[in-house]
Structure 1
Amino acid sequence: MDDSLITYLKNHAPNDAFEESDPVKASQDLFPTIAYTDSDKTEIAQWLITASHLGASGEDAAKAAERLSQLNTHLSSRTTLLGAKPSVADIAIYQKLAPLVAKWSAEERTGEQGYHHIVRHVDFVQNSPLFNLKLDDKVDVDVNNVVFKIKPIDAKAEKERKKKEKEAAAAAAVKAGGPTPTTLTGEQGAEGKKSKKDKVKDKAQAAGEAVASTVAGKAGPPEGAPTQKKEKKAKQPKPQKPAAVEKPLSPALIDLRVGHILKAEAHPNADSLYVSTIACGDAPGTDNTSEYEGQVVRTVCSGLNGLIPLAEMQNRKVVTVCNLKPVTMRGIKSCAMVLAASPKVVEGEDSHKGPVELVNPPADAKAGDRVFFEGWEGEPEAVLNPKKKIWETIQPGFTTTDALEVGFNVGEVPQLAGEGAEKKTGVAKLKTAAGICTVSTLKDAVVR
């Protein structure tokens, strides 16, 4: 846990949880009746990383909006970050977001594109006796002031849907020739309604058919007579599919490609955003792509309006992140991210004052060319799982050097450094087959 969270726990949380620097132990001090699984413990650590990014002063508008959208989606079906278990991670997220939510307009809070679930989580953490936070100032949340009401799940409609699914399954069984509970019941009911006279007649008919079959050399039990049940064959267990092998954490999991901006324009609903049409080398029919002037393209929203002139965004090569989960940003679906560099910001400084420089691929690179960090080659994930926080874990290592080259500083991501003789150090250069990726002037900068 960082110093700011420890101080916050000291001032506002019960049970002296601030005395523990380990987030799991702090959670256990805060909530002694809760048992955390290994998966819970991993998730707590990952959410603390997310909280640090949410509170980072250097975060640009597009990436901040993307993180908020992912968090809002995560909380849409959960009471707490872990689902139903409270943890110190909920307090960390509250600490970073409460000042932000307090400034949001009603539209930003509960509009059609607003963050309903984040607002609900903030209100829950600050008021619930479960957390028992000692707060002098709370975010003012008016539960009756909802601009756009999210349609709840209709329990009756859900029940009807399940009923229709069962009926469809029964109809499929009948079509395949198999009996159903309904048909069996019907047959047994009809049998039960037969008179004694009809039953005697049926037995006589069965006996006559038995004699006829014997004369014809087909001796066998009469129809309707009790028969021995056939032994059912033992079902062979289905072979289990091998578990998917999880790839080790690496910058190679991030799908970095050369992109060619064909056009860029200001976002119609957000002053800080550009909307770019970028060719990234996708095949026709790829998810989250469209066609523009005969090329397969992605629509990308980036928070660069006011930081980079719109003229510099036209007809140029950039480096794109292509396997983040798409995010709708003020009504436009953004299906990739553009890498840019900015100076490291000292706490208290304006994180949006710039300067900002786009990462430049080599001059001979083509749209769709793979971009990778030297020494970290490998196949990227198709889509990064937001729950695993791969991008949030790896990105802090993205930097620039004194030679204006873009690289990955493994020292910023201790999970990848290793130990002993195998320990990795230094900065791996970002490159394509055509050469190294660079920036224009910014040294020792943050790249994201």
Structure 2
Amino acid sequence: MAGSTLDESVTAFLKNHASNDAFEETDPVKASQKLFPEIAYTDTEKAELSQWLITASHVGSNTEDAAKAAERLSTLNTHLSSRTTLLGAKPSVADIALYQHLASVVSKWSAEERTGEQGYHHIVRHIDFVQNSPLFGLKLDEKVHIDADNVVFKIKPIDAKAEKERKKKEKEAAAAGAVASGATPTTLTGDQGAEGKKSKKDKVKDKAQAAGDAVASTVVGKPGAPEGAPTKKKEKKEKQPKPQKAAPVEKPLSPSLIDLRVGHILKATTHPNADSLYVSTIACGDPPGTDNTSEFEGQVVRTVCSGLNGLIPLEEMQNRKIVTVCNLKPVTMRGVKSCAMVLAASPRVAEGEDSHKGPVELVNPPADSKAGDRVYFEGWEGEPEGVLNPKKKVWETIQPGFTTTDALEVGFDVEAVPQLSGEGAEKKTGVGKLKTAAGLCSVSTLKGATVR
């Protein structure tokens, strides 16, 4: 398969199982853009995309040497250990190509090969994600059977900082080993190689000779000042100012800066130190090793405090899908670190009235959505910030536009945010509906409510 085109097997798979007529494109970037029109790929990602298509064609090949195939699978599994998709977080046709080539292979793996101590946990997770996520929307007659409860060996989430430190120490150790063995650039080839074979005594002699030659050159080659004459002080070179680093490009204000995702509450309890708070354990689709996450029952989760005790029964907080805000700076609430926020609707109140008296209803994502699915407002698509800067008050500025409609849909009313709506003849109006790839987000009964 050429690096810049889709092979026939992938094209046929897209025709039978994917949407958007992506099979009509042989260029992987164009096919990806047709499948995921809201995603923008950088030049680096476009190059990676082509390389992953080549890897996908080899990794599932029956003609590969067993040792080589195992090495490829191991490398792929390590790559996916800290990524949701092959490109990191962005879906592409390469993920589908990998599924097409590996699905039949994974379906034959034993439980030990899938989830044993040396098993390919992350490949199995990726296969399950691609075949079931509405993000890819594959129409499959048969799927790889994956039993989430049959885990032979539970792996610990990767600590990104520890992994970085480990690689740094490995490099330092390798460099120290090279120095200890005398493997310097002067021991490589030609005359330099001969230099490396000299004895320690010869090297010392050569250094002394070089020093003598240097002294002689200053005496004979360059006439100095008469003896006793005052010497000139060397002029100090002016220090050149260091070039200023270019300031990072600031994204324009938009609801898309807020990282909204589908969350799955795995359990919720009352806060041990606050009567008004619940403490929820929520899966938000984070890859292993993400900051401010932990592991619960084999899933990467966030701990979230919400002021819903007394407003929503605790039993309604168990094992349900909600919408979470995932890029607010974590805050510690009465001794418990909260690493996200649960979106809920409540009636609008006049200034001075209690805004937390209720009633309150959680925002419901579409029934078919899964933890980690991206949630966004129509007309306001874009990449969210990693972590919102509290000083810039992005959440505080945008949130007043979050509302519910008469049809009980959640939306963003641009007129409620003057910084975005503008004034006069060019003033923007309208409500962009909150949605995922699977459909619209809604509330149960509250019309014209505020959502926060």
Using the size of structure 1 for normalisation, the TM-score is 0.49
Larger radius of gyration, structure 1 or 2? 1
